[in-house]
Amino acid sequence: MGIIQEILDKHLGKAAGVLLGLIFGWFAIKYGLFKALFVVACAVAGYYLGKRLDEKIDFREFISRIFRER
């Protein structure tokens, strides 16, 4: 078993966090903090919508719940 496989098996969350931190840091340095935060917000929104799609939620109901009149 290689070191990479051991890290992925035993420390997947930590490894993913480090990788995401490095990517965010690179974006912040290269493009600026606010542009990096915008990319993170888009990624979070994409994850959320993808998760809902995986759960087979009705998007008409989902959109109407978001934009319902108050």
pLDDT in tens, 10-45: 888 888 888 888 999 998 999 999 998 998 898 888
Confidence (pTM): 0.59
The number of CA neighbours under 13 Å toward the Cβ of 27 is 15
| 6 has a pLDDT exceeding 70 | yes
Domain locations along the chain: 3-66
Q: Are 36 and 28 in contact (CB under 8 A)?
A: yes
Q: Which two tokens stand for residue 58?
A: 């009705």
> What's the pLDDT score for residue 66?
74
